[in-house]
């Protein structure tokens, strides 16, 4: 049974999530990530809030495109505080700090499996 889902912009997005997603939307680089986590699910149904954005790299993204996306998110967030970039395993996390406290993370991971 196929069901049509309505996608809507989540009302609970933080300002930092909004500006990052807007920057990606206005760039050709946005096609190289897929939103996941609470933000991804909230496009269909808002069930909880989160201050972070989780995403996956598209399978066809190059290393140069990955670095360009990371630089774009970093440049977008630098208007709001200190930005850090951490890499661990297959994940890159771009974090925003204000007054020595992390207030936002945009994390992108390599997708290990696709369910069809």
Is residue 3 one of the residues assigned to a domain? no
C-alpha 1/C-alpha 18 separation (Å) is 34
Domain with residue 23: its CATH number is 3.30.460
Residue-level pLDDT, tens digit, the chain, 116 residues: 455 555 456 667 889 988 998 899 899 998 898 877 656 555 555 665 667 888 989 988 999 999 999 999 999 999 999 999 999 988 999 999 999 999 999 999 987 655 56
Residue 51, pLDDT score? 79
Is residue 79 one of the residues assigned to a domain? yes
Contact between 41 and 47 (Cβ < 8 Å): yes
Is residue 7 one of the residues assigned to a domain? no
Is residue 114 one of the residues assigned to a domain? no
Domain count, the chain: 1
Is residue 75 one of the residues assigned to a domain? yes
Is residue 68 one of the residues assigned to a domain? yes
Residue 37, pLDDT score? 61
Is residue 19 one of the residues assigned to a domain? yes
What's the whole-model pTM score?
A: 0.81
- Nearest-5° angle of CA 57, CA 60, CA 63? 70
Show the domain range for 26: 15-109
Residue 85, pLDDT score? 97
């Amino acid at each position: 049974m196929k069901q049509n889902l309505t996608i809507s912009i989540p009302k609970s997005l933080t300002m930092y999530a909004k500006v990052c997603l807007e920057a990606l939307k206005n760039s050709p680089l946005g096609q190289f990530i897929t939103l996941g986590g609470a933000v991804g699910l909230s496009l269909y149904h808002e069930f909880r809030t989160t201050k972070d954005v989780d995403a996956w790299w598209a399978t066809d993204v190059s290393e140069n495109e990955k670095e360009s996306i990371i630089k774009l998110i970093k440049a977008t967030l630098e208007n709001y505080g200190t930005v850090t970039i951490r890499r661990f395993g297959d994940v890159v996390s771009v974090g925003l700090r204000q007054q020595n406290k992390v207030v936002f993370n945009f994390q992108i991971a390599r997708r290990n499996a696709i369910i069809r």
